[in-house]
Amino acid sequence: MDQTRSIEALQLFQRLQKGISAAISVFLLMSCQHAPTQFTAISPPSLPNFNQQSYAPKVNLDVKPISLPQSNKFSANLYWHQWQPDQTRLNSLNRVRVIALTPQQAINSPDVLVQAMNEYVQLLAINSQDEQASCLDNLKISASMHSLSIESYCQQTIGQQLFTINELLQGDWLTSANAVINIDKLSHSLKLNKHIGAFTGSEINQVYLGQLLGKTHPYYDNLNNNAVVEKLSPEAIHALLKRTTNNAFWHVFTDQQIAKPSSDTQLTTKVNQYITRNLTIANLQQTGTAPTSHAQSHSTKAKDRPLTLHMIDAPGTVQIQVRLGYSLNEQSPSNIDGNSNINSRDQNNTMNNSLSCKVLAALLGRSFSGRLFYDLREVRGLTYGIYGQCNDAPLAQYLTFYGSSALQHSGAFIEGILAHMSLIQTQAISDGELNALKTYLIGQQTLLNDSQNGKENTFLNNQLLNKPINANQQFLAQIEKLSAQDITNIADHVLSANPVIVIRGDKALIESDILQKLPNWTLATISAER
């Protein structure tokens, strides 16, 4: 009897075990199944409220002209600029900044140059004495499409710092006999940066520029170029460096007075000798050629552009990245006049486009009170942030709006951006919003004047774009005179064109939602590879 009961109990336990296992299997199977994505519905645009509160104090901005350094021209391509003592940091350290400007052509592979120079500086610091090593550790190297900047800030004399910078720019450390940098390590770092860029946004930025400016444009071709990285060698990097330095205009900024002779003429002569002796790279003859125009015609190309969403398919990604932009044409806005008179004949076309670009970037794309940020983040919660950026460069001027969103918001996010592009063209802004826009833009200029690098970069940007020395004062005067009608005219001029839109996300998950929200658009898959 006891044995029979034991067998029955064992059989019952086995049946229960099978039942529990089956239940667990069903539960796990159901858990692994993804619920269908519930996509967000579209909504009409919401605008921030700029009504003046009766109890709020009125703030009057004290707008001061952008400070300028004392400048001397030593040759056709060498300039020295010195900040007055009350415009600089007062301490025992010496600062010198050397900038190579190439307004006539874009720098080829500036990312490679900066990475290679930093690698060499690190090696040099390891094998240097304390004071020299400290200076090398504080050396800041940066580059853009039209500038290469090296800033030194340490206890060494300005002459010693110039000598080090000159050695770096001469590039003898890249010749076959002296090459010390590890090319494999350098190549690996550049490839890693490109891989990281797929997540941080540089990948989509590259593809976006190719669609906006064309794949033959140097702003697309000269950065993150795989062909250059694959063929890296000391000789190849040396050739890139020489091409940059041979076509540069040199600007040297110092804080302290380098020499103290009895007259300004003697000062200029001594400083000229001092700089040219220690910065021999600047003695080379400038060999640049006139720039090639790469600008697209806004009226003939942009308005005829098909409504196409260019998509980088990235399976498995949990968000969508968006770039939406407009290439500004070479002609000044013909319908912008109003009270601001910004279309007067003596104004430079570049400055007109620059004003239009900056106004729209701030109105639509600034943080918190910008229309896109307020509506798409603060009101609807579709994104962590969306911003506007004005790219004002010698070979192209273009306006870009950029941001990211969760997959379920994909269609609503893109439709929301486009809805604001249309609204600003048809509905005049309020006086309160206009005043807030002016305050923001004037405040930006004021902040630039509070930073030494900000003042220098503003000064150099004006040099690059061949703007007059009082360009910033002209800009502030134009901003103060802007009317609501001017804003409408600017928006109609720039935003009436069909924008270039590039997105990055999981196509299989979001394509149907996007096309449902934007029925007049087509979606084309595009590769991130060149």
Confidence tier at 289 by pLDDT (50, 70, 90): very low
pLDDT at 17: 63
* 298-525 CATH, one of 3.30.830.10, 3.20.80.10, 3.40.50.11930, 1.10.287.70: 3.30.830.10
Confidence tier at 233 by pLDDT (50, 70, 90): very high
CA-to-CA dists, residue 336 to 133, 363, 390, 438, angstroms: 55, 17, 19, 17
Domain ranges of the chain: 70-283, 298-525
pLDDT at 335: 40
Give the homologous superfamily in CATH for domain 70-283: Metalloenzyme, LuxS/M16 peptidase-like (3.30.830.10)
pLDDT at 200: 81
Closest residue by Cα to residue 115 from 153, 142, 151: 142
Q: Do domains 70-283 and 298-525 have the same CATH topology?
A: yes
pLDDT at 225: 83
pLDDT at 60: 74
This prediction has a pTM of 0.85
pLDDT at 284: 61
Contact between residue 314 and residue 506 where contact means Cβ atoms under 8 Å apart: yes
CA dihedral for 86, 89, 91, 95, sign (positive or negative): negative
Question: Which position has the higher pLDDT, 28 or 217?
Answer: 217
pLDDT at 489: 95
pLDDT at 24: 58
pLDDT at 279: 80
3-state secondary structure of 522: strand
Neighbour-count burial for 370-409, b at 16+ CB within 10 Å, e otherwise: bbbbbbbbeebebbeebbbebbbbbbbbbbbbbbbbbbbb
pLDDT of residue 478 exceeding 90: yes
pLDDT at 299: 37
pLDDT at 495: 95
Name every residue whose Cβ is closer than 8 Å to that of residue 431 and which is 6 or more positions away in sequence. Answer: 484
Ranges assigned E (strand) in 276-354:
308-313, 319-327
E strand or H helix at 170, and its extent? helix 158-170
Q: Which tokens belong to 293?
A: 């125009």
- pLDDT tens digits for range 96-150: 999 999 998 999 999 999 999 999 999 999 888 888 899 999 999 999 999 999 9
Most confident residue range from 61-65, 88-92, 342-346, 405-409: 405-409
